[in-house]
Structure 1
Amino acid sequence: MDSETRSYRTGSEEVVLDLTDDCAEFVSGRGDGQLFVFVPHATAGIAIIETGAGSDDDLLAALGDLLPADDRWRHRHGTRGHGRSHVMPAIVPPSATVPVLGGRLALGTWQSVCLVDLNVDNPDREVRFSFLG
């Protein structure tokens, strides 16, 4: 298995960051196999969704409805509602697997691989890409 870790700056706002181009670059020329994408953080996840047509904003809105940024959370350090960021990976898991055919991601037409980060206290993230051929 071949792996690489890349760093991303997500900033101080909730974000859905499209990683598809980086994923495609990582698997380019590798033949058939599987790409594993993993975020080694307790407060971030990986989603395969449509982006650019509002779905990424819809995902953040839905997570805001499901996991409000208020004082209900027992995990209370950091900014108000930070505890919800620790619950989010149960909904948006920290990993995804994408088939690779002929060195190309076998995603559907509108699918993108995205980093989902609600944690405004940690602007720096790492994502591990691993290829199994």
Structure 2
Amino acid sequence: MAFTTTVLTLTTGTAETVTDLTSACTEFLNRAAQGGDGLLNLFVPHATAGLAILETGAGSDKDLLSALHHLLPADDRWQHRHGSPGHGRDHVLPALVPPHATVPVIRGGLELGTWQSICLVDTNKDNANRQVRLSFLG
């Protein structure tokens, strides 16, 4: 059994984003898994961001942000009111887009479907600095 971990540091900017982490995960596994089998666990230590496995590049990432905007409007209905207007919705996001994901690793590679990518979902325009912990257990 091997356990290896690292932290990705990202700047997401001042707009709502879906950031593809798949290539960073692959690079980490090239070092950590060394061709073996196991699990990749990802964790976001932030109260206003989450992780999703979805198709990117064909509009699904924009569709996800649109759906979140519909479900969690950036208006004054939220009890949590510090930050920019509507920021309270960002604190509800992790209940819908969890701050963790686990993906099987087979022969050192991510066992994702053809169109699947691992993505950081960040609707918080007030905090552009994000971390994602990657941990391989194999």
Query: Which residues of 2 match residues 31-110 of structure 1 at below 5 A?
Result: 31-110=36-115
Distance in 2 separating the partners of 1:9 and 1:88: 19
CA distance in 2, matches of 1:123, 1:57: 19
Q: TM-score, normalised by structure 1?
A: 0.99
Task: Letter of the 1:8 partner, please give it.
Answer: L
Residues of 2 paired with 1:131 and 1:84: CA distance?
32
Aligned residues: 133
Q: In structure 1, how many angstroms separate the alpha carbons of the residues matched to 2:120 and 2:84? A: 20
Determine the structure 1 residue equivalent to 2:24.
22
List runs of 5+ in structure 2 lacking aligned partners: none
Q: Which runs of 4+ in 1 moved over 3 A?
A: none
* C-alpha RMSD of matched pairs (Å): 0.6
Q: TM-score, normalised by structure 2?
A: 0.95
**Deviation at 1:110?**
0.2
1:14-54 deviation per Cα after TM superposition (whole angstroms, max 9, x unaligned): 00000000011111261100000111000000000000000
5+ long unaligned stretches in structure 1: none
1:119 maps to a residue whose letter is N
Alpha-carbon distance between aligned partners in 1 of 2:57 and 2:133, rounded to the nearest angstrom: 24
Query: How far apart are the structure 2 equivalents of 1:121 and 1:14?
Result: 10
Quote the Cα distance in structure 2 between the aligned partners of 1:64 and 1:112.
21
Q: 2:8 aligns with which of 1, 6, 12?
A: 6
**1:6 CA drift (Å):** 1.1
3-state DSSP class of the match of 2:64? helix
* Residue 130 (str. 1) matches residue 132 (str. 2): no
